[in-house]
Amino acid sequence: VTDRSEVCVIGAGASGALSAKVLTEAGVRVTMLEKGPWLKPSDFGSDEVANTRRHYLGPDPELSPRTIRRSETEVAHPSAFCMTPQLVGGGTVHWGGWTMRMTESDFRQHSLHGSVEGADLADWPVTYSELEPFYCKAEWALGVSGQGGANLHESFRSREYPCPPVPATRYGWRFRTACRQLGYNAFPTPMAVLTRAHGTGRPTVQNAFVELHGDPTGTRSSALTRFIPDAHATGKLDLRPLSFVQNLEVNSEGRVTRAVFIDERGRRRAIDADLFLLAAGAIESARLLLLSQSGRFPEGIGNDDGLVGRYLTLHEFASAVGVFDDGDPIFGWAGGGVAASSTYQFYESDYSRGFVGGAHLMGMGVGTHLPVNFSLPEQPRWGKTAKDNDRRYFNRSMAVAFVLSDLPQWSNRVDLDPTVVDAWGVPVPRITVHAHPNDLAQAAWMSTKAAEILTAAGASRVWKPTTEDLTGSALHQHGSLRMGAQAVSSVLDRWGRVHSTPNLYVVDSSSFPTPSGTNPTLTIMANAWRVAEHLLNRRGSSIN
Amino acid sequence: MTRSTTVLSKAHYRTLVSAMDRIIPPDNDPGAKAAGAPRYLAQLLAGPDFVFAKPDGSGFLHLTGKHARIWRARLRNWRSQYRGGLSEADRRARARSGQAFANLGPDDQDLILMELSHDPQWTEFFELLLSHTREGYYGDPIYGGNLARAGWRAIGFDGPSSLADVHSGHYSTQDYFQPSETPEPGR
């Protein structure tokens, strides 16, 4: 069975749902296909076991495995690698909601640093200035809470945050106080959390079950709770959950004509459209292009030069952990451990540190700071000592964490596993990644800095993380379908359009030439908004 | 709970209870046994009816299709891991002192668990035991463990009174934020 639509969006997460909102609000008919279910806020809850141990928000790695290897010469083994949720709302359903902006330098990494051996830095074909208005739009659409100007290292902003910052937690307070003592600028971490009425949203409560959990109350904004209802209200959106796209068909001119998918009852169906927007995330979007092989594109769409899947960057989430024997308790679980404070003091490159790039540091709870998952590094995991540590430190510990800005490398990539298939019989994404020496140098330096802040905050004992490789621990993914000014070294043009395929646009973070040192989702939304407005501006003649 | 006898034999269950009580031992706070962790596990292993609590706390989700299939297979594997691992713990206990694991003193039990945790053949079993003990001690009480919030009380986690408490938007951690009268620490 084949249906028709003006635009077909594949993936209903941060970028797909945002695109659907912007396009449908301008009157465009959109069909959006999402592999996962369409859950409602009432389907979410405070269940640490279901959410952190049993893949409640999916995907279950037994159904949708990935494989991982460190180099081209190894056989990849199945792994639950970087399993960002697959459902309507995507990663924004389980996110902590941190919504920092990138800075001007993030868009000019090659101009600033030139060549780094073993890596391929590139400038974005977009500048911060071009994106800035869309950052504002995304912040206002979500209802981000924050304090404009508090981050002295932020690039310019033309509009204040729509909501004031989340009240300070004790771990946020300790972090800010320690930073002040050390002479570092700290600021309340901007969050997609309503602190006052905004649009149709109302603030509710700060509970303890935040990261990795959906929010049943609506205080935390997501693509599911903000963008999907807007798009739905236009009457122009046809959202199809449990619809797993397996192939894009092309005609002799290289245009995509059809998305072929399996519906929830296992039936093969298709959508024909004038224009296709790919928004499945950097791993799944690359996988779909590689799966879409044809006489015209024997190696997959956009892959004539073998670039599809390459330059995958993942961040690495690492944290120093401190315990506090003296002073007031910290309650690292209040606000879910993510009502944090941040610093961009070490965000910009400083060659005297011995590496390029930098990271956003934040004071937060220890991991997912909840009882089942609580643990301290290098400590016994069972027996009397473990129980004593739980009792002494569950309320008296915090972390200073960072996301590593890993360098894009040719060999870090997504391709199709030659033997492993998923529960639908489709070859799974095979991930080949290893850390660059610059990544490890950066991690070591940031670890020392994170530990220094914890010590200044009064920690009686501090553990520094050791980062040995990229593990996908941030659940961030970027870069597998780079955009660039030159077709020879990129898959997408500056609007996210596949060079070889004029009616196919990629709107997710696959397009990011470099990953930045901060959480990507606000930038994903801003960039998708920029592309969607471009498509609408071109609509005079026809949408494509 | 009657299921314990059908999913695991009486002997296995007895070993399980003793082993869990070494993972989180009793002292002036309850151990894993008193907090209901073994019961929690027996209920989970019995079949895919207790995998996901309904978010409003009104019961459990009924799994269908691929998810039911995957969870049946996963639970089958776990049951087999437990039967193997618990038998091995008992075998080592008898080899050491001629007695069942449950009859050994805490130090001997710890030694056997330590051995199993380092033996590649039994690592998977041991990791399951560790995870499930923590889930049964610290997980939401709806799953059958953490009786009377024993685990949460022990560590000072002022958790919700029920899943419904969060689902309805009543549970707040605001009292555990920084007191609002604290002066702002400049930049």
Number of neighbours of residue A127 by Cβ within 10 angstroms: 12
Average of per-residue pLDDT across A2-31: 97
Residues B183-187 have a mean pLDDT of 57
Q: State the smallest CA–CA distance between residue B6 and chain A in angstroms.
A: 24
| pLDDT value for A544 | 46
Quote the pLDDT of residue A2: 85
What's the DSSP call for residue A89? T
User: What pLDDT score does B171 carry?
Assistant: 97
Give the Cα separation of A11 and A4 in Å (integer).
17
In this model, does residue A53 exceed pLDDT 90? yes
Residues B44, B37 contacting (CB under 8 angstroms): no
Taking the CB of residue A74, how many other CB atoms lie within 10 A of it?
Answer: 10
pLDDT of residue A62: 95
Encode pLDDT of A336-347 as tens digits: 999 999 999 999
pLDDT score of B184 more than 70: no
**CA A149 to CA A154: how far, in whole Å?**
8
pLDDT over 70 (residue A542): no
Other CB atoms within a 10 A radius of the CB of residue A334 amount to 28
What residue in A sits closest to B163 (Cα-Cα)?
A46
What separation in angstroms does the CA of A88 have from each of A34, A38, A40?
7, 5, 9
pLDDT band at A149 (very low <50, low <70, confident <90, very high): very high
> What per-residue confidence (pLDDT) applies to B185?
60
Query: A158 near A132, Cβ under 8 Å?
Result: yes
DSSP secondary structure string, A138-180? HHHHHT-B--TTS-TTS---SS--SBPPPPPBHHHHHHHHHHH
Q: How confident is the model at residue A1 (pLDDT cuts 50, 70, 90)?
A: confident
A282/A392 Cα distance (integer angstroms): 41
Task: Give residue A58's pLDDT.
Answer: 87
Q: What is the pTM of this model?
A: 0.97
Q: Chain B residue closest to A334 (CA)?
A: B173
Measured CA angle at A287 (ends A281, A289), to 5 deg: 100
pLDDT band at B4 (very low <50, low <70, confident <90, very high): very low
Degrees, nearest 5: CA angle A315-A480-A101 = 50
Q: What is the pLDDT of residues A445-458, one digit of tens each?
A: 999 999 999 999 99
Task: Tell which of A169, A372, A382, A388 to mutate to test the B interface (max B CBs under 10 Å).
Answer: A382
pLDDT of res. A17: 98
Q: Can you tell me the mean pLDDT for A465-488?
A: 95
**What's the pLDDT at A539?**
80
Q: List pLDDT tens digits, range A231-284.
A: 999 999 999 999 999 999 999 999 999 999 999 999 999 999 999 999 999 999
Report the residue from B151, B159, B178 with minimal CB separation from A170.
B178
Q: Are B53 and B143 in contact (CB under 8 A)?
A: yes
Please give the pLDDT value at position A250: 98
The predicted-structure confidence for A56-97, as pLDDT tens digits, reads as follows 998 999 999 999 999 999 999 999 999 999 999 999 999 999
Using the beta-carbon criterion (under 8 Å), do B169 and A54 form an inter-chain contact? no
- From CA A524, how far away is CA A503, in angstroms rounded? 20
Q: Write out the two tokens for A179.
A: 């930073």
Rounded Cα distance between A63 and A199, Å, is: 38
Average pLDDT of the residues in A22-37: 98
Looking at the DSSP bridge assignments, the partners of residue A429 are: A416
**pLDDT (average), residues A495-517:** 97
Query: What pLDDT, in 10s, does the model give residues A371-394?
Result: 999 999 999 999 999 999 999 999
Of the pLDDT bands very low, low, confident and very high (cuts 50, 70, 90), residue B41 is: very high
Min CA distance, A138 vs chain B (Å)? 26
Note whether B53 contacts A60, CB cutoff 8 Å: no
Q: Is the pLDDT of residue A540 over 70?
A: no
